[in-house]
């Protein structure tokens, strides 16, 4: 089993003032949730945390939501936030472990020393730990991007995976969207899933208290969905956020190099010619 990709609230609390720990609020919400992550961050965040906007630190010309930016843009943005080489980056969010997207993004840019706060801000506050509303004053820090292509998949690579069967596709969307029984939240997308994909809704890997399930329970969830944990895996979802939660869960199971399909269903389901299957897997 490799190093766990999550840290506890107690672990972070003991290291709040450590100079090599950099804390990042990477909260993100669907429009239907009617929550403003930037405003919530300004009202209360873990002391010293900076805000990472996945919709701005992105390829804003792609036409798809929060796609990975170029390494140069990523480095420029995080350097200005005081995030860089030699630091341990701890990412958290306001609920649902969606900070996994930013965890994956840092690793896709070559920064492996990044972890997710298990339970996020909700658990932190529930335990009576400190928050502040002070704007940060980060000192710029050098960040060396080293793009890790093995952690990223595009449409052409997913098509080849379907044709060859060499990589398993694991979809993090809710079951009703996977089967096309429920509509997609984004307009203009077909319902269903990619041929051969397995369905592991991201909610099924998260415990009631918002923490990631322990390894034995995670293993049971993936195996029940027909995922072979010893074979290559690519995760997908609506727009690459909850797919990253599955990648995080698989990292806890000793599979740290799982790839994420960045465009996910927003790209795939929005095209007229990509193969789509409806009904259960």
pLDDT tens-place string over residues 85-126: 999 999 999 989 999 999 999 999 999 999 999 999 999 999
Cα–Cα distances in angstroms (integers) from residue 109 to residues 50, 62, 71, 84, 151, in the given order:
19, 18, 6, 11, 9
Domains, in order of start, for the chain? 6-147 (3.40.250.10), 150-268 (3.40.250.10)
Strand partners, 168: 233
Q: What is the DSSP letter of 86?
A: T
Active site residue 237: yes
Confidence of residue 32 (pLDDT cuts 50, 70, 90): confident
pLDDT for res 2: 55
Q: What's the half-sphere exposure (Cβ side, CA atoms, 13 Å) at 100?
A: 34
Please state the rounded mean pLDDT for residues 219-237: 98
Cα–Cα distances in angstroms (integers) from residue 98 to residues 18, 80, 221, 266, in the given order:
25, 23, 19, 17
Tell me the three state secondary structure of residue 271: coil
pLDDT tens-place string over residues 126-182: 999 999 999 999 999 999 999 999 999 999 999 999 999 999 999 999 999 999 999
pLDDT for res 173: 98
Q: Enter the pTM of the model.
A: 0.97
pLDDT tens-place string over residues 36-52: 999 999 999 999 999 99
Asked if 27 contacts 66 with a C-beta cutoff of 8 angstroms, the reply is no
pLDDT for res 1: 39
pLDDT for res 30: 87
90, 237, 250, 251: the active-site residue: 237
Cα separation, 157 vs 114, in Å, equals 26
Contacts for 175 with CB less than 8 Å, ≥ 6 apart:
181, 199, 201
């Amino acid at each position: 089993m490799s190093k766990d990709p999550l840290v506890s609230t107690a672990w972070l609390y003991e290291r709040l003032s450590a100079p090599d720990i950099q804390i990042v609020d990477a909260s993100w919400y669907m429009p239907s949730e009617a929550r403003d992550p930037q405003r919530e961050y300004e009202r209360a965040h873990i002391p010293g945390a900076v805000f990472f906007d996945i919709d701005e630190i992105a390829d804003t010309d792609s036409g798809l939501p929060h796609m990975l930016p170029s390494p140069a843009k990523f480095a420029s943005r995080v350097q200005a936030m005081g995030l860089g080489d030699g630091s341990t980056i701890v990412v958290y969010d306001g609920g649902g472990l969606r900070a996994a997207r930013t965890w994956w993004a840092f690793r896709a840019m070559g920064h492996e020393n990044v972890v997710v706060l298990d339970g996020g801000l909700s658990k932190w506050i529930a335990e009576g730990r400190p928050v502040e509303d002070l704007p940060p004053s980060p000192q710029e820090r050098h960040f060396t991007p080293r793009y890790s292509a093995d952690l990223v998949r595009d449409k052409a690579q997913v098509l080849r995976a379907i044709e060859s069967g060499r990589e398993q596709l694991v979809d993090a969307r809710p079951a009703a969207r996977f089967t096309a029984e429920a509509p997609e939240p984004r307009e203009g997308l077909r319902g269903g899933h990619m041929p051969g994909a397995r369905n592991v809704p991201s909610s099924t890997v998260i415990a009631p208290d918002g923490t990631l399930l322990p390894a034995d329970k995670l293993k049971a969830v993936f195996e029940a969905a027909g995922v072979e944990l010893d074979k290559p895996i690519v995760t997908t979802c609506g727009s690459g956020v909850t797919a990253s939660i599955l990648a995080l869960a698989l990292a806890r199971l000793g599979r740290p190099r799982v790839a994420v399909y960045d465009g996910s269903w927003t790209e795939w389901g929005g095209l007229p010619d990509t193969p789509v299957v409806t009904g259960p897997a």
